[in-house]
Amino acid sequence: MDVPVTEVGKALSVQNVALRGIVSAVPDTVVGNAVFEDKFGAKAVAEISRMTGVQSRRVSSENQTTADLSEAAARQLLEKLQWAPDSVDAIVFVSQTPDYRLPATACALQARLQLSAHCAAFDVNLGCSGYVYGLWIASKLIDGTGIRRVLLLAGDTSTKLVNPEDRATAMLFGDAGTATALEFDESAAPCWYVLGTDGSGEKNLIVPRSQYRTALPSDEKLSAVLPDYLYMDGAEVFNFTIRSVPPLVNQVLKISKKDISALTHVFFHQANAFMLKHIAKKLSLRPEQFPINIDRFGNTSSASIPLLLASMGDDAKAARDVVMTGFGVGYSWAAVQLTMDGLQVCDLLEVSS
């Protein structure tokens, strides 16, 4: 879908919302690339690592879920910000690996975090673009609705979805859960969003038999996928990203009237290091403007942007004019240009597996 910059997505603005803090939680189990050499061979592992940039990833235990990681992140964030549980008006959980088909994981987390009964809680089923969509949803809840504080929990335990025999996915993904605190603030600078979708890409990144539509029999590649495993057509996803992300970034800069050279950072969804460097070159970004941590954590889907900030620590607290952009499964994409007036909390937390 090769479209002009002005048609990449819907342009939207949000007022009166401040980003107060981010905590990202990862399992303490680190899996390096060497463990794949017996299965795939050292040469293949080295080539995949060179292309994706992934050297290691965090892997959750069998009984550890995205909700567990996000809960740990939220507890630390609430404690560090000194937010009383009854001051949180809404909780939004963004993930494609929830605890159950029903009830919504956000409802369970409302109870586990001991938030008040007046707290709205709901799930959003999005992956790679999910964090930016979640920021937009949380911000719109605050902007003009009477809601003052929102917890955005975003993450995925994608390693539970990959076929260990599929080197295209087994070596790419990692697990993480995150918590972001947003609050009403009349003095906050406006945020500018661009959101878009091309659902014709659904079959290129999919778990084809995980819910109620159990197969796509006309597609031989999908019909061969084992039940409940993730399928990814890497070439198609790569091509979509290369043609879609630069105009996405350019459009959000156009509507926010910012120059890319003046941004302190562009925080990309950590999909593939080779791809990100190619996009950064097309956008004329300086190396210090686009941090990468996929080498240490893999592709963590909806958690990747907040995990990227958390892994930067104090450097993230110093970020000011930034762009965040997520893109992938759906196909779905989103970007936001915002001014960060100093995060009060930006922590990386390890959780026992």
Query: Could you say which of 33, 272, 293, 299 is catalytic?
Result: 299
- Per-residue pLDDT tens digits for 13-51: 999 999 999 999 999 999 999 999 999 999 999 999 999
By C-alpha distance, which of 183, 190, 178 is closest to 309?
178
Residue 191 among the catalytic residues: no
- Per-residue pLDDT tens digits for 227-250: 679 999 999 999 999 999 999 999
Is 80 exceeded by the pLDDT of residue 6?
Answer: no
Q: Which CA distances in Å does 339 have to 85, 176, 266, 278?
A: 27, 25, 12, 25
pLDDT confidence bin for 215, thresholds 50/70/90:
low
By C-alpha distance, which of 57, 273, 34 is closest to 173?
57
Query: Could you say which of 33, 119, 128, 272 is catalytic?
Result: 128
Strands (E), 222-341: 231-232, 265-268, 321-328, 332-339
Percentage of the chain beyond pLDDT 70 is 93
Residue 128 among the catalytic residues: yes
pTM over 0.75: yes
Query: What is the mean predicted confidence (pLDDT) over 321-345?
Result: 95
Quick one: 121 exposed, middle or buried, by C-beta within 10 A (0-12, 13-18, 19+)? buried
| Residue at token pair 């993480």 | 176
Is 60 exceeded by the pLDDT of residue 194?
Answer: yes
283, two tokens: 């956008």
pLDDT, position 4: 41
Query: Could you say which of 269, 272, 293, 346 is catalytic?
Result: 269
Query: What is the mean predicted confidence (pLDDT) over 297-323?
Result: 95
pLDDT, position 85: 94
- Per-residue pLDDT tens digits for 80-120: 999 999 999 999 999 999 999 999 999 999 999 999 999 99
